[in-house]
Amino acid sequence: MTSDIAAASAAYETLFARTPSWRYSGGGADRTLFTLDNTTLELVAPHGDGDAAQRIRSALATQGEGLASLCFRTSDIAKTHRRLDRLTLKPEPVAEVESRDDSSGATLSWKRTRAATDATRGVRMFFLEREQERPLSVRTTTASITAMDHVVVSTADPERAAALYGARLGLDMALDRSHPEWGRLMFFRCGDLVVEVTHRPGKSETDAPDRLRGICWRVADIDATRARLIAAGVDVSEVRTGRKPGTRVMTARNGTCGVPTLLVQPSQGKPG
d(CA 50, CA 4): 17
Q: What is the pLDDT of residue 87?
A: 95
Sorting pLDDT into bands at 50, 70 and 90, what band is 131? confident
Average pLDDT, the chain: 93
Q: What is the pLDDT of residues 92-103, one digit of tens each?
A: 999 999 999 999
Q: In terms of DSSP bridges, do strands 69-73 and 95-100 run parallel, antiparallel, or are they unpaired?
A: unpaired
- What distance in Å separates the CA atoms of residue 52 and residue 30, rounded to the nearest whole number? 11
Q: Is the pLDDT of residue 245 over 90?
A: no
Given this model, what pLDDT does residue 165 score?
97
Note the pLDDT of residue 235.
98
Mean local confidence (pLDDT), 16-41 = 95
- Over residues 71-77, the mean pLDDT reads 97
Residue 225: strand, helix, or coil: helix
* The predicted structure's pLDDT at residue 63: 87
Distance CA 57, CA 38 (A): 30
The angle formed by the CA atoms of residues 256, 97 and 87, to the nearest 5 degrees, is 85
Close Cβ partners of 173 (under 8 Å, ≥ 6 residues apart): 162, 165, 166, 186, 187, 188, 189
| Count, residues in the chain | 272
Segment 71-94 shows an average pLDDT of 97
Q: Do the Cβ atoms of 155 and 199 come closer than 8 Å? A: yes
Q: What local confidence, expressed as pLDDT, does residue 205 receive?
A: 66
The one-character DSSP state at 166 is I
Give dist(CA 249, CA 207) in Å, integer: 33
52-61, 81-90, 124-133, 166-175: range with lowest mean pLDDT: 52-61
Average the pLDDT over 89-93 and give the result. Answer: 98
Average of per-residue pLDDT across 234-252: 94
Q: Which of 196-205, 218-227, 258-267 has the lowest mean pLDDT?
A: 196-205
Residues 115, 127: contact at Cβ < 8 Å?
Answer: yes
> Tens digits of per-residue pLDDT, 156-195?
999 999 999 999 999 999 999 998 877 899 999 999 999 9
Mean pLDDT of 67-76: 96
Q: What is the pLDDT of residue 49?
A: 87
Is 128 exposed, middle or buried (CB count within 10 Å of its CB: 0-12, 13-18, 19+)?
middle
Residue 143 has pLDDT above 80, yes or no: yes
Is the pLDDT score of 16 beyond 60?
yes
